[in-house]
Amino acid sequence: MRAFFLSCLLLVSGLYLFGQSASPAQTKAAASLIGLEFDSLERAYMQANLSRQRGAYESLREQRLENSIMPAVMFNPVLPGTRMPALAKEKPIDWNLPKKVKRPKQDGDLAFLSVPELASLIKRKKITSVELTQVYLNRIKRFADSLHCVVTLTEEVALAQARKADAALAAGTYLGPLHGIPYGVKDLLAVPGYPTTWGAAPFKDQTFSEQATVVSRLEEAGAVLLGKLSMGALAMGDVWFKDRTRNPWNLDQGSSGSSAGSASATAAGLVGFSIGTETWGSIVSPSTRCGVTGLRPSYGRVSRTGAMALSWSMDKIGPICRSAAGAAMVFDAIRGPDGKDMSLYPVAFNYAPDQPLTQLKVGYVEALFTGPRARRTSRLNDSLSLAAIRAMGVELVPIKLPEELPVQALSIILTAEAGAAFDELTRSNRDSLLVRQDMGAWPNTFRSSRLIPAVEYINANRLRTLLMMQMQAVMQEVDVLVTPSYGGNQLLMTNLTGHPAVVVPNGFTERGTPTSITFLGNLFDEASILRFAEAFQAATPHEEKHPDWLR
């Protein structure tokens, strides 16, 4: 059976045993493996084409493709009728920084303040950026080894940026709410002078000369880079080349992934905020596990220049914070075209912290909160969240998500693109250096992706267009859609369609680990879901809770 599989794999991949062309028997076996059947005459006719295709594959493989090179065929989430906030109507944001914040006596309490609270202290000169940076550096040195959440500490850069932030403020220049606030980035964003490991042993020593756009924009906003945070190898799970990143609420549990270190470090008060990425749950899942607030922006909102590509049509970059208001501040700093990433759209971000909730039409996916489709571990907390939302004076409109299309089957889009992104890793056999080598790990997935026919990949994307049309029809009924974070297929569905999501903590399980609720929005309308999330957090205490052992 193994020989049969390898024969089929080598044929479809264009790799031929001992340099021989495919035989009719191999063609029959390969066709059977992908669910097709050809008669003997058809197989005979195919031999010449297969030989020519082999030559084409070999020619293509002679050309080295860097991970950063996007396909010429690009995903566009914008359908006719999509409402896009016009840049001409963009308004300055009044962040309403809290004015009565006092510096806590204990550094352990200071470290858990939200971005708005830290911004208030720095702007009013109640603390310097150098002092705050040193607090976080000391905490990283004290706690990071227990959590396995930091890959590379950028202490020299951090202290230099903090001194620069303090000097600018002393000279009367205030760059905005991120001025002087320390943060960390998922280790798939390039920072010159430091390794960008992608969490994987084959790349643990790689460096890049170009800095990621997101890092540059945060530097321009006055933020202070503390370090590169751990990620599941090549953006899957929470296992990287040294260890598994831990959940600060339960050290026997991984932090989930793949933005494992970003969520763990934020929840543990080792950074003021962090940057994560999502392709299929990599912000939502670790934010849920670690009890923090994560924003997955719309596809086409934040530049991926200088970031590892896993799936060019699904990858997104967003903030992980301790509050929705903080996520809004970070998102505002990193959003927008950079002249390099061709997938970006120039649209406004009209975030209004004081917007009355009565101006927002809010729906909820009723079927996912009740009955057999509700998740047992989060059902109670999800129900209490709906009650809290109604107590805020919000009328919840029942909404149904699209159910006609085989959403789970569309995951072959991600699988095929990931296989292409790491084609050379598979062909060189360096995939054997990855720590995880089980059936669900990347090496097996990359190899299996070679057997996804191009026709099926294209047809999956055609079905994706239908899904986008159906989802747009649903979302046009509301400004905010409330859903369990793992309810039904919504997580994969909305990652495929490119819709934004905010995930916020909404309680704890019986074992004392966090749960979350998700607020979905229309394309490019991060403003509405962040405003709603901020109001939810003002009405509930969940984001204010932190692991006691880390204080």
Residues annotated as part of the active site? 186, 258, 282
Q: Report the alpha-carbon distance of residue 116 to residue 278 in Å, rounded.
A: 24
Closest CA to 298 of 280, 326, 318: 318
Quick check: 231 and 150 in contact, CB under 8 A? no
Q: Report the alpha-carbon distance of residue 407 to residue 497 in Å, rounded.
A: 11
Quick check: 386 and 362 in contact, CB under 8 A? no
H-assigned helices in 34-105 = 40-61
Q: Report the alpha-carbon distance of residue 523 to residue 501 in Å, rounded.
A: 10
DSSP 399-455: E----SS-GGGGGHHHHHHHHHHTHHHHHTTGGGGSS--STTSHHHHHHHHTTS-HH
Tokens of 547: 């692991």
Q: Report the alpha-carbon distance of residue 265 to residue 274 in Å, rounded.
A: 8
**Signed CA dihedral, 221, 224, 230, 234: sign only:** positive
Closest CA to 378 of 465, 480, 289, 247: 289
Quick check: 346 and 87 in contact, CB under 8 A? yes
β 250-254/293-296 pair status: unpaired
Tokens of 456: 């099926």
* Cα 150–Cα 281–Cα 407 angle in degrees, nearest 5: 160
| Host H or E run for residue 159 | helix 155-170
